Amino acid sequence: MDMDRRPLIAGNWKMHTTVQEAQQLASALVLAVAKVAGRDVMIAPPYTALAAVGKILSGTGVMLGGQNVHWEEKGAFTGEISAAMLKDVGCVMAIVGHSERRHVFGETDFMINRRITGALQFGLVPVLCIGETLEQREAGQTLKVLEDQVRAGLDGLEAADGSRLVVAYEPVWAIGTGKTATEDQA
Q: Which of 104, 72, 65 is nearest to 87 (CA)?
A: 65
pLDDT in tens, 1-49: 345 678 999 999 999 999 999 999 999 999 999 988 999 999 999 999 9
Residue numbers annotated as active site: 98, 170
Question: Looking at the domain assignment, is residue 2 inside a domain?
Answer: no
Question: Looking at the domain assignment, is residue 184 inside a domain?
Answer: no
Predicted local distance difference test score (pLDDT) of residue 180? 77
Question: Looking at the domain assignment, is residue 122 inside a domain?
Answer: yes
Question: Looking at the domain assignment, is residue 186 inside a domain?
Answer: no
Question: Looking at the domain assignment, is residue 181 inside a domain?
Answer: no
Q: Which of 165, 163, 186 is nearest to 69 (CA)?
A: 165
The total of structural domains in the chain comes to: 1
Q: Residues 130, 136, 138, 144: is their CA dihedral positive or negative?
A: negative
* Beta carbons of 92 and 124 less than 8 angstroms apart: yes
Predicted local distance difference test score (pLDDT) of residue 179? 76
Full DSSP string of 33-81: TTT--S-EEEEE--GGGHHHHHHHHTTTSEEEEES---SSSSSS-TT--
Q: Which of 38, 10, 37, 42 is nearest to 168 (CA)?
A: 10
pLDDT in tens, 132-158: 998 999 999 999 999 999 999 999 999
Question: Looking at the domain assignment, is residue 1 inside a domain?
Answer: no
Predicted local distance difference test score (pLDDT) of residue 2? 45
CATH code, domain with 45: 3.20.20.70
Question: Looking at the domain assignment, is residue 183 inside a domain?
Answer: no
Q: Output the average pLDDT for the chain.
A: 93
The model's pTM: 0.92
Question: Looking at the domain assignment, is residue 102 inside a domain?
Answer: yes
Q: What's the whole-number mean pLDDT along residues 111-130?
A: 97
| Residue numbers of the domain that contains 157 | 8-174
